Amino acid sequence: MQETKRERFDSSYLKKFCPKHLDAFAFSPSAGVSGGLITIWIIFFFSGTVIQSNSYDVSMSFTRKADHKTFLLTNVYGPSHSSEKFAFITWLINFDTSNMITGCLQGTST
């Protein structure tokens, strides 16, 4: 999970900065010089499905292939612009964890 300042990613770019065993990703693009998130995983061990993606989060469901256990992961970017802060805080306050058996909320901000 990482904050990024890129508008686009593809597999060939991912290979430039990740070990080759990290081979799957989901991302939310940056808007100029702010925002942008990427979540990277090993497809041999996990299957990942994006549940939600917007300018301040990438929420995913992961299933571990060895035992079919599922967990949720939300990668969060705390926006620095006032106009985006309200939407982010509203989303965070309403973040529903009632269905989470196993999960993680990870974040970064500028």
Q: For the chain, where are the alpha helices, taking DSSP H only? A: 11-17, 82-93
Higher pLDDT, 47 or 95: 47
Among the ranges 15-19, 48-52, 106-110, which has the highest mean pLDDT value? 48-52
pLDDT single digits (tens) 60-88? 889 999 999 888 888 887 777 777 788 88
Domains of the chain: 2-109 (3.60.10.10)
pLDDT in tens, 11-21: 777 777 778 88
Q: Provide the whole-model pTM.
A: 0.72
Q: Identify the pLDDT of residue 93.
A: 81
Q: Is the pLDDT of residue 100 over 50?
A: yes
Is it the case that residue 50 has pLDDT exceeding 90? yes
Task: Name the average pLDDT for the chain.
Answer: 78
CB atoms near residue 67 (< 10 Å)? 7
Beta strands in 42-102 (DSSP E): 46-54, 57-64, 70-78
pLDDT attached to residue 110: 47
Between the two ends of the chain, the Cα-to-Cα distance in Å is 15
